[in-house]
Every structure is written in C-alpha cells, then in structure tokens.
C-alpha cells in the first residue's frame, strides 16, 4: 500500500506565485487595482493567439456570459456531449434554454459530430465542443457544421489548456472559448476562468455584461445600460495567474510527461486505452484516464474499492449528464452511459514523484 494518500490533483505553486500574490495583496489597490488582471488577460491572449480575453471568476461564468451575449434564451436548444461536468449545462438552463445531450465518440470521449448534426433543429442556437480531459473534439467537422447551419461553435476548454489542434490552441477556434483555473486545473488561480474570442462585437457585449451591464462607452457613473452579471476575477487571483502564465510551458510539459509515462506502461496491457493524441494534435493531458475493455470485467466500483484500499484517490469518469435526475434519460447515448462504468481518472498533479507514478502503475497492474 502507498503510505501517504496520493491525491488525484493539486496545483503547482512556487515562490513566484507567492511573490505576485503578496504584491497584489500589499500594493494592488487604488490605481494598481486592475494591474495584474490586465496583465493576465494580455499574456493569456498572446498565449492563445486570440484578439480578446476577459478574466472571470469561473469558467461557468464565462460560459454563462458568452451564451447570454449570443442571445441564447427561453425555448432555445444548445447541443453538447452527454459526457461532461454539469458546469457546461447549468448556464444553458439558467438562460431558459434546453441542453440537448448527444453521444460521445468511443476513442476521444468527445462529442460525436454526426450526432451533433443530426440533433440540429430550428431552435438550435449553439453547439458546445467540450475538449474532455484535454482530448480534442473534431473541430474541422464541427466548424463545418457550424458554417453549414450558421450555428456558433463554442469551445469549452476548461480542461484543455495546452491542447493544440492542427496548430491552433484549444479555445481559439470557435465563436468563443472558455477556460477554468479552478485549483484542480493545469493552470490555477484558485477559482477563476477566462472568456476568449476573436469577435469584436461579442467581446464588447461580454465586457458590458461582465461589468453589471455598464458599457465602456457610458460616460455617466454607475449607469448600467442592461442587466449584466458579476463574474469578475480579483487582482490577487490574477497575480497568481500571471505567475502561472510565466510557467505555462513547464506546467503543460509536466502534465504531458505524466500522461506519457502512464501510457507507455499501461497501454501495452491488453484491452486498456487512455487519452488519445491523434496526428496533428497535442493533448494538454489535464486528466490521464484509463478505460478498460468490456471483456476485462473491470468495473468502476471495483476500481474505486481497490484504489481506496491502496490509499490512492480514485476519481470517477464523468457520469452521463442525462442520467441525472434533472434531465431526461438518454440511454441511447450508449458510449456516454457505458464508458464511465469501466474507467477511472489517475492522479496527475505536477509534483507527483516518479516513484508515486510507478506505484500507481503497479497497483493498476496488480488490480488487473
Ligand atoms: C468541461 C468543464 N466545463 C466547465 C467547468 C467549470 O469550470 P469552473 O469550475 O471554473 O466554473 C469545468 C470544471 O471543472 C469543466 O470541467
């Protein structure tokens, strides 16, 4: 058994993050109150190679504002994969629209573009491409569908910082992209998110929404023009984000290194598959995940019991959203309903030692 518990994830915080956060806490007020926020947005924009970025309090908030700015509302439909965390679906419901869940592909665990196209109705107002665990959606197909039906393609890249699709960073290809900097993510600000787009009008609308409806052009003080939101990031959080951005290459490289290590040792075993990396793409490797073949008889419950006994965090593969009580049951999404029953996320925080990873691999082998 591993002696001290191995957690599935925690952030990589160095003296640099502490130094910037301390500076923001001491001096980041008055005329410097937006300094780190502006810098964080600027470096993020450059990294992603997009025109506009707005730091937010969460990815959920970025999605909520982005979809509101697209005019998504009562009676509209938004198509997304059944496999996901509820954070992408909740803002759709808050806007009075309906999330339409379609099945995932068996290899990428991301939305099946054919099923997304088949689900389009006159009420469809967007398709959300969620790059699950850092795996990439088929963006060529989705963007073509978007152009064909004149439907925006939103990229929920909460889990995909560091992922690259044929030279373009995840989050930079759709009508807008969203990111999460929650403490479990590759790059963290504790809690936090980012809205990104190349569309100047959409940017202006989200900027206004993000400031309680106060337009940048409004000269009157405390004069909201529309009902907006309050999903702002603080200067102290942004200071941590600035430090993390200086280390972004290192942070992503470490996650990729951990995934490679697992893949080299586990994918050689019969009936075991992990996060794919198809030609021309780079997987940001947020969450190394193992899926066992049906014939192995391995189940999530058995895996959890075994991992817990070995003192290792066992994080379940996302349950299908359509299995939750507030949504309509969609068992026809066979991959979304089946894969989680024989899969598990493996620990992957940056400071995980080689010995730790080796012992996790050995425990998986022992289990098999
Ligand atoms: C795919 C996906 N979208 C959105 C979110 C929401 O991110 P946040 O917690 O920053 O709101 C998450 C969070 O884990 C996520 O995994």
**Domain range annotation of the chain:** 15-246, 248-367
Name the class of domain 248-367: alpha beta
Asked if residue 292 lies in contact with residue 58, where contact means CB atoms within 8 angstroms, the answer is no
pLDDT at 2: 59
Asked if residue 138 lies in contact with residue 110, where contact means CB atoms within 8 angstroms, the answer is yes
Residue 62 CB contacts under 8 Å (≥ 6 apart), including other chains: 54, 56, 178, 179, 193, 194, 195, 231
How many helices (DSSP H) and strands (DSSP E) are in the chain? 12, 14
Whether residue 87 has its Cβ less than 6 Å from ligand 1: yes
- Ligand 1 center from residue 84 Cα (angstroms): 9
Whether residue 89 has its Cβ less than 6 Å from ligand 1: no
The whole-angstrom separation of Cα 364 and Cα 368 is 6
Residue 55 CB contacts under 8 Å (≥ 6 apart), including other chains: 37, 40, 41, 44, 192, 193, 194, 232, 233, 238, 241
Identical topology for domains 15-246 and 248-367? no
Q: Which fold has domain 15-246?
A: 3.40.640
Whether residue 68 has its Cβ less than 6 Å from ligand 1: no
Buried b (16+ CB within 10 A) or exposed e, 8-38: bbebbbeeebeebbebbeeebeeeeeebbbe
How distant, in Å, are the alpha carbons of 88, 135, 186 from that of 117?
19, 20, 32
- Ligand 1 center from residue 185 Cα (angstroms): 9
Compute φ and ψ for 125, nearest 5 degrees: -110, -10
pLDDT averages per 10-residue partition of the chain, 368 residues = 81 98 98 98 98 98 98 98 98 98 98 98 98 98 98 98 98 98 98 98 97 94 96 98 98 98 96 96 97 92 91 92 97 98 96 92 90
Whether residue 256 has its Cβ less than 6 Å from ligand 1: no
pLDDT at 314: 79
Whether residue 197 has its Cβ less than 6 Å from ligand 1: no
pTM of the model: 0.97
pLDDT at 119: 98
Ligand 1 pocket check: which of 90, 110, 182 to mutate, most ligand atoms within 8 Å of Cβ? 182
pLDDT at 84: 97
Asked if residue 179 lies in contact with residue 62, where contact means CB atoms within 8 angstroms, the answer is yes
């Amino acid at each position: 058994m591993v002696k001290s518990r191995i957690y599935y994830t925690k952030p990589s915080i160095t003296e640099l993050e502490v130094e910037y956060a301390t500076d923001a806490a001491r001096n980041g007020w008055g005329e410097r109150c937006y300094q780190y926020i502006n810098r964080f947005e600027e470096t993020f924009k450059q990294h992603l190679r997009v025109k506009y970025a707005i730091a937010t309090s969460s990815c959920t908030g970025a999605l909520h504002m982005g979809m509101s700015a697209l005019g998504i509302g009562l009676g509209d439909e938004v198509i997304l994969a059944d496999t996901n965390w509820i954070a992408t679906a909740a803002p759709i419901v808050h806007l009075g629209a309906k999330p339409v869940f379609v099945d995932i592909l068996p290899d990428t665990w991301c939305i099946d573009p054919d099923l997304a196209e088949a689900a389009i109705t006159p009420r469809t107002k967007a398709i959300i491409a969620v790059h699950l665990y850092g795996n990439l959606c088929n963006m060529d197909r989705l963007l073509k569908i978007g152009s064909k039906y004149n439907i925006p393609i939103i990229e929920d890249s909460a889990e995909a910082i560091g992922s690259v699709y044929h030279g373009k960073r995840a989050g930079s290809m759709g009508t807008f992209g969203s990111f999460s900097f929650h403490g479990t993510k590759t790059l963290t600000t504790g809690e936090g998110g980012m809205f990104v787009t190349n569309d100047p009008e959409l940017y202006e609308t989200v900027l206004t929404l993000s400031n309680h409806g106060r337009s940048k052009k409004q000269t009157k003080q405390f004069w909201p023009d529309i009902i907006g939101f309050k999903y702002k990031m603080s200067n102290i959080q942004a200071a941590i984000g600035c430090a993390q951005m200086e280390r972004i290459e290192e942070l992503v490289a470490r996650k990729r290194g951990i995934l490679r290590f697992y893949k080299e040792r586990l994918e050689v075993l019969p009936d075991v598959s992990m996060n794919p990396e198809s030609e021309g793409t780079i997987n940001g490797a947020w969450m190394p995940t193992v899926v066992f073949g049906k014939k192995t008889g391995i189940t999530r419950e058995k895996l959890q019991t075994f991992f817990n006994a070995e003192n290792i965090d066992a994080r379940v593969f996302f349950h299908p959203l359509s299995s939750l009580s507030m949504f309509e049951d969609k068992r026809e999404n066979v991959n979304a309903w089946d894969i989680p029953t024989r899969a598990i996320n493996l620990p992957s925080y940056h400071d995980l030692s080689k010995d730790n990873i080796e012992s996790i691999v050995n425990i998986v082998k022992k289990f098999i």
